[in-house]
Structure 1
């Protein structure tokens, strides 16, 4: 049995009970049997109202959603080369990356998930959230940047934003583990060398680099869903996986590299709790039973009041 009191109602009903009890006690000896019965009924009803205001309820157990003490940060490459059609089934690399990250997020229920996407620039597409559904929806629709809008890719353009994001997460939830998952093809088309990911290593407890694409390369549509291909001087251009670059990123993060071409099992980045927790919560409320029990008493009180009123009227 638990109680969910409305304290102001409890106070009012308790004061009324005390007043009625003192009044009945002071007049008890001089009262008739009928008046005494009326006084008792009033006190009992007042006590019943105290119980109603206390709102008695049963108890029940329920599963507590697991709370993952994990901050999961996803970095997704959406440069034009991620549209290359050399993933399993002739699909784009972005299709494979989105599917893999959706699976990672689905397995991280309860974790705080952040999504950083990068093409010419990097942006925090999804700030830290435990709403898995919204993250999954975002990953399924983010797409890749059409080649006509691309200005050359830098696979490390998101490093500074990732550093800022991880630093903020560490300050907000210092006891949480932080996991970084980078998904891309490693292709650097800007002339300058990429920046190092090493500054992120001390901010994460675990890091994974998922590589998409093949050494044989794949042709690139000019835009998602477009049949036209990226060409130069009439020759279709191909994009190639830069596995060496991705392995270098993994080493700098002190993490692991996984080449993703045909699906299969993903690394477990967030491990579920060993057991589901349960808690006791209020169940069905019983105050209405008390209120229902008071109804006959109120009816008797009403009948006595009507009887006394008629007797007083006859004496006039």
Structure 2
């Protein structure tokens, strides 16, 4: 038997101490043993609630986690162009990015991970956490921005946010190794003023890489919309055109959203990789660039000589949680008390007042 509290122990004490003190006061004030039965029952119910909150469980042994002195920052492109199907079989650039994020977590076991995504705006999707499974679960659910909300994007959208997060990490944990990965296609569809750069992040981390996705031939992009498109809606989007008329675009399916259309041609718009931008970002950051293709593994920098000593942490595993047993017992006692109180109230209401003899 072990305990895995559902709340911090301090909170459990704070929540249970007042009712416990009040019930004990009732027991002390009770005139006889019969009068003490009800408050004793309440005290037992409170004790059972405390036991339930303490989280009784059957232990299953321990597992060992490896924690290293590394923070990994992943910047991921979720603009509409990441939905481009360059690779055949409907696979998108975003699909390949997701595969590479998994490869990153496997390379840097025991690290902490943070995920920044960008489209029309940049945002921190995952703060620094030491749980790769949580990161991967979120990454698998990522989609590109909603098409109707898209107003153009720039591959430099996350530059300020990345610099801020790196600076905060360096301030809080100056001795940790920081690794940065930029995953995107480099395509720019927004008009911006001035020169954009990632140089604000340069020198704030130890290693990293820019990973590029897409092809020079490009691929069509499906819309991302909460609506379900059917055949008659294709006519509204494409007119009399057929989305499969373009040799580079597969045909649309009635169960899938249509492809984005190039207004100039009436055919599916084609997005291509912009390696010039990607190489410039790599130069700004001071890291290497590699073009990613399916069914290959990314080349990830080895930080073993700067990683410091790995720390093994033993973590108790739980086979079965038993908090529900005392919780049910407490519920039954509370229900009993409520029933007795209701019955006593009913008796008082139906009792006939005694006549006073004159």
Calculate the TM-score normalised by the size of structure 2.
0.57
Give 1:194 deviation, angstroms. 6.0
- Secondary structure of 2:85 counterpart: coil
What whole-Å deviation, never above 9, does each CA across 1:52-83 have from its counterpart, x for those lacking one? xxxxxxxxxx8853221111000000000000
What whole-Å deviation, never above 9, does each CA across 1:117-145 have from its counterpart, x for those lacking one? 11110111100000111001011111111
- Secondary structure of 1:258 counterpart: strand
What whole-Å deviation, never above 9, does each CA across 1:272-293 have from its counterpart, x for those lacking one? 679976799xxxxxxxxxxxxx
Q: What's 2:281 paired with?
A: 249
Asked if the contact 2:183/2:211 (under 8 Å) is kept, the reply is: yes
Give 1:88 deviation, angstroms. 5.6
- Secondary structure of 2:188 counterpart: coil
Asked if the contact 1:73/1:180 (under 8 Å) is kept, the reply is: yes
Going from structure 1 to structure 2, the CA distance change for 1:276 and 1:219 (only over 3 Å counts) comes to: same
Structure having the higher Rg: 1
Q: What's 2:158 paired with?
A: 158
Tell me the distance in 1 between the aligned counterparts of 2:312 and 2:133.
24
Going from structure 1 to structure 2, the CA distance change for 1:277 and 1:73 (only over 3 Å counts) comes to: closer
- Secondary structure of 2:71 counterpart: strand
RMSD: 2.6
What 5-or-longer segments of structure 1 have no aligned partner?
1-61, 281-316
Asked if the contact 1:154/1:194 (under 8 Å) is kept, the reply is: no
Which 10-residue stretch deviates more, 181-190 or 257-266? 257-266
Asked if the contact 2:221/2:260 (under 8 Å) is kept, the reply is: yes
Calculate the TM-score normalised by the size of structure 1.
0.64
Tell me the distance in 1 between the aligned counterparts of 2:295 and 2:183.
14
- Secondary structure of 2:105 counterpart: helix
Q: What's 1:239 paired with?
A: 271
Going from structure 1 to structure 2, the CA distance change for 1:254 and 1:63 (only over 3 Å counts) comes to: same
- Secondary structure of 2:108 counterpart: coil
Which 10-residue stretch deviates more, 186-195 or 170-179? 186-195
Q: What's 1:213 paired with?
A: 214
Query: Where in structure 2 are the equivalents of 1:1-316 lying within 5 Å?
Result: 65-87=65-87, 89-192=89-192, 195-223=196-224, 226-233=256-263, 234-269=266-301, 271=303
Aligned residues: 220
Give 1:263 deviation, angstroms. 3.1
Asked if the contact 1:109/1:130 (under 8 Å) is kept, the reply is: no
Give 1:186 deviation, angstroms. 0.2
